């Protein structure tokens, strides 16, 4: 439940309580119809579920495996909505500790079979729904699929379901190498100026200043979505013009910016609003309601996706994503003549190979790049 403690101020979008409660009520009714529980037990069951409230359980802790597995001799035939079924399965996996132990990992995680299955799966071509064209899996997609299977094998080994020899054979599986052009779309300063103008024209002026600061932050600092929403008020230093960022792998870095930049101006305006309206909110970017009041709720990565979609609806010429801003800042730095290693450190990449994939310079810029004596 995104943490072992119920917290009313935390976003509960990843756990919809009502479908889960409905599913559990149907389970209780089914057991009563099968005469496996009494009428009083059913009443207690229904009361405990219906009266459950996140706000009344702030100090209640759930430990994985707190519900012992129950052996049922017959198959349950209960009609559930798809949403209730998903929630019930997720809840069951959380409650039942031996779920991973009941899986027959030896028949699945057998290296020769796994390699053959992967190659057969990746060689099949995907039919696009919009047309008759067919599209291969990109090499990065294939690599991600294999990486996920290796992760499953690693956890199976940790649970002593497979041997270390089987794990090493699975890790030794190799797929054909290849590459594709990055899907990131380049945004120029003219594009971001237009995005900024559309953002500031919104009727909710407080939200407009916040969104404008977010867009300039993503464009001139190249922060990832999770890094943007993870910023706290103390991570921004306007005096030294540095942003303290906690990136992937719990790696800390400091991203500089200029006092003459658009980012400095946007952050300065939003910071004035933040300090004026509330000093009890830790997150740098917080929610803004329709009454132009700040809320304690921290933004989510989906919020940034929605902001980009909203800009297109406001009149921007094309669809954009938060990651387009990150691709663009890497391209701008490389165009300015900074070497690849410096750009890699600025972006928080652990390898310069990743930074190379962010380069959106066009083939036209290769004209005139010829070796001389």
Catalytic residue (choose from 169, 207, 225, 323): 323
DSSP-based three-state secondary structure for 83: helix
Judging by DSSP bridges, how do beta strands 242-246 and 236-237 pair with one another?
A: antiparallel
Annotated catalytic residue 349: yes
Catalytic residue (choose from 248, 277, 291, 327): 248
Annotated catalytic residue 180: no
Annotated catalytic residue 248: yes
d(CA 147, CA 248): 17
Burial 316-355 (b: 16+ CB within 10 A, else e): beeebbbbbbbbbbbbbbbeeeeebeebbebbbbeeeeeb
Q: Are 362 and 369 in contact (CB under 8 A)?
A: no
Catalytic residue (choose from 224, 225, 327, 360): 224
Annotated catalytic residue 210: no
Annotated catalytic residue 51: no
d(CA 229, CA 145): 28
d(CA 154, CA 240): 44
Judging by DSSP bridges, how do beta strands 252-256 and 286-288 pair with one another?
A: unpaired
Catalytic residue (choose from 169, 274, 326, 327): 326
Residue closest to 82 by CA, chosen among 22, 168, 143 = 22
d(CA 347, CA 341): 10
Q: Are 215 and 222 in contact (CB under 8 A)?
A: no
Q: Are 246 and 346 in contact (CB under 8 A)?
A: no
Catalytic residue (choose from 210, 298, 358, 360): 358
Annotated catalytic residue 6: no
Angle at 38 between CA 33 and CA 41, to 5 degrees: 110
- List the catalytic residues: 224, 248, 323, 326, 349, 358
């Amino acid at each position: 439940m995104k943490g072992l403690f119920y917290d009313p101020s935390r976003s509960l979008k990843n756990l919809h309580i009502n479908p889960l409660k409905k599913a559990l009520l149907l389970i209780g009714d089914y057991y009563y119809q099968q005469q496996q529980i009494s009428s009083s037990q059913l009443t207690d069951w229904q009361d405990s579920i219906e009266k459950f409230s996140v706000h009344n359980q702030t100090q209640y802790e759930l430990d994985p495996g707190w519900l012992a597995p129950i052996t049922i001799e017959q198959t349950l035939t209960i009609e559930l909505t798809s949403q209730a079924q998903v929630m019930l399965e997720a809840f069951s996996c959380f409650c039942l500790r031996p779920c991973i132990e009941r899986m027959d990992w030896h028949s699945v995680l057998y290296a020769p079979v796994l390699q053959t299955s992967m190659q057969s799966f990746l060689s099949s071509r995907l039919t696009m729904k919009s047309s008759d064209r067919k599209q291969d899996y990109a090499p990065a997609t294939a690599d991600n699929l294999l990486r996920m299977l290796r992760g499953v094998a690693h956890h199976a080994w940790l649970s002593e379901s497979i041997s270390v020899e089987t794990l090493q054979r699975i890790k030794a599986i190799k797929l054909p190498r290849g590459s594709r052009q990055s899907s990131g779309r380049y945004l120029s300063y003219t594009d971001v100026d237009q995005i900024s103008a559309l953002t500031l024209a919104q009727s909710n002026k407080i939200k407009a200043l916040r969104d404008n600061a977010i867009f300039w932050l993503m464009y001139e600092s190249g922060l990832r979505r999770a890094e943007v929403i993870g910023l706290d008020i103390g991570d921004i230093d306007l005096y030294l013009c540095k942003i303290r960022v906690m990136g992937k792998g719990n790696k800390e870095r400091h991203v500089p910016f200029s006092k003459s930049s658009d980012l400095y101006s946007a952050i300065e305006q939003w910071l004035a609003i933040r300090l004026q309206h509330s000093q009890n909110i830790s997150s740098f970017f917080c929610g803004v309601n329709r009454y132009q009041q700040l809320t304690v709720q921290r933004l989510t990565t989906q919020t940034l996706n929605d902001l980009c979609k909203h800009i297109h609806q406001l009149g921007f010429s094309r669809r954009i994503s938060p990651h387009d801003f990150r691709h663009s800042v890497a391209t701008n730095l490389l165009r300015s003549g900074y070497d690849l290693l410096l750009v890699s450190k600025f972006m928080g990449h652990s390898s310069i190979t990743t930074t190379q994939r962010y380069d959106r310079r066009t083939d036209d810029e290769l004209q005139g790049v010829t070796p001389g004596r």
